[in-house]
A and B are shown apart, each in its own frame.
Chain A
Amino acid sequence: MRMPLPDVAVAERRDEIVAALRQIVSGEGVIASESERRVYESDGLTAYRQLPLVVVLPSTVAQVAAILRYCKVAGVKVVPRGAGTSLSGGALPLADGVLLGMAKFNRILEIDYDNRCVVAQPGVTNLAITKAVEHGGFYYAPDPSSQIACTIGGNVAENSGGVHCLKYGLTTNNLLGIEMVSMDGEVLRLGGKHLDAAGYDLLGVMTGSEGLLSVVTEVTVRILPKPTAARALLIGFPTTEDAGDCVAAVIGAGIIPAGMEMMDRPAIHAAEAFVKVGYPLDVEALLIVELDGAPAEVDFLVEKIEEIAGDHHATTIRASRDEAERLAFWSGRKAAFPAVGRISPDYYCMDGTIPRGRLSEVLTRMRALSERYQLAVANVFHAGDGNLHPLILYDANKPGEIERAEAFGADILKLCVEVGGVLTGEHGVGVEKRDLMGTMFNDADLAHQQRLKCAFDPDGLLNPGKVFPQLHRCAELGRLHVHSGRLPFPDLPRF
Chain B
Amino acid sequence: MSGFAPADLDELREAINEALAAEEPVELVAGGTKRELGRLLQLPRTLDLSPLTAIRDYQPSELVLTAAAATRVGEIEAVIAANGQMLAFEPPDWGALLSLPEAAAQRRTLGGVLACNLSGPRRIKAGAARDHFLGFRGISGRGEIFKAGGKVVKNVTGYDLCKLMAGSYGTLAALEEVTVKVLPRPETVSTLLLCALDPTAAVHCLTRALSSPHEISGAAYLPAASNSILQSFSGPQGVVALRLEGPAPSVVFRREKLMSELAAGSETAVLEDGPSTTFWRGIRDVLPLVELPDRVVWRVSVAPSRGAELAETVADRLDARWYLDWGGGLVWVAVAGADDGGAAVIRAAIRGTDGSGTGHATLIKGSPALRQTVLVFEPQSAALAALAARVKEAFDPRGILNPGRIVEGQ
Contacts and interface: CB of A to CB of B under 8 A. Distances in A.
Interface of A: 112-116, 137-138, 158-159, 161, 165-166, 169-170, 172-173, 177, 182, 186, 188-205, 207-209, 225-228, 248-249, 251-252, 254-256, 293-297, 300-301, 353-357, 382, 385-387, 420-429, 433, 437, 440-441, 444-449, 451-456, 467, 478, 480, 482-489, 492-495
B17 interface: yes
B21 A440 contact: no
Nearest to B203: A114
Contact of A115 (B2, B304, B393): B304
B303 interface: yes
5 contacts: A113-B211, A200-B388, A293-B250, A452-B394, A455-B393
Contact of A195 (B153, B185, B301): B301
Contacts of A294: 213-215, 246, 250, 253-254, 257
Contacts of A452: 159, 161, 164, 391, 394
A186 B382 CA distance: 11
Given A194-B359, A227-B213, 11 more contacts: A115-B303, A170-B154, A186-B383, A195-B329, A254-B84, A353-B153, A455-B393, A478-B394, A480-B398, A483-B17, A492-B7
Contacts of B217: none
Nearest to A88: B156
A420 B150 CA distance: 8
Contacts of B215: 227, 293-294
Nearest to B138: A448
Interface stretch (B70-78, B140-148, B366-374): B140-148
A192 B303 contact: yes
Given A293-B246, A441-B158, A485 B144 contact: no
Interface in B75-105: 84
A254 B183 CA distance: 8
Contact of B394 (A189, A248, A451, A487): A451
The binding surface of chain B is classed by DSSP as mixed
A300 B144 contact: no
Nearest first, the 10 A-B pairs at minimum CB distance are A485-B21, A204-B163, A297-B250, A192-B358, A254-B184, A193-B303, A198-B360, A198-B378, A455-B390, A451-B394
Interface of B: 2-5, 7, 11, 14-15, 17-22, 48, 59-64, 84, 117, 119, 123-124, 127-128, 130-131, 140, 142-148, 150-164, 166-168, 172, 183-187, 207, 210-215, 246-247, 249-250, 252-254, 257, 301-305, 326, 329-330, 358-360, 362, 377-378, 380-381, 383-385, 387-388, 390-395, 397-398, 406-407
A485 B22 contact: yes
Contacts of A446: 158
A114 B305 contact: yes
Contacts of A165: 154
B58 to A, nearest CB: 12
B380 A199 contact: yes
Contacts of A429: 156-158
Given A161-B154, A195-B128, A209-B159, A296 B61 contact: no
**Residue of B140, B148, B153, B397 ringed by the most chain A CB atoms within 10 A:** B153
A210 to B, nearest CB: 9
B26 to A, nearest CB: 13
Contact of A426 (B5, B59, B154): B154
A194 B330 CA distance: 9
B59 A357 contact: yes
Contacts of A195: 123-124, 128, 301, 326, 329-330
A225 B60 CA distance: 29
A355 B20 contact: no
A285 B384 CA distance: 50
A207 B131 CA distance: 12
A297 B247 CA distance: 7
B380 A256 contact: no
B8 to A, nearest CB: 10
**Residue of A188, A191, A226, A357 ringed by the most chain B CB atoms within 10 A:** A188
A205 B158 CA distance: 10
B395 A207 contact: no
**Residue of A166, A357, A494 ringed by the most chain B CB atoms within 10 A:** A494
A193 B381 CA distance: 17
Contacts of B207: 114
B70 to A, nearest CB: 16
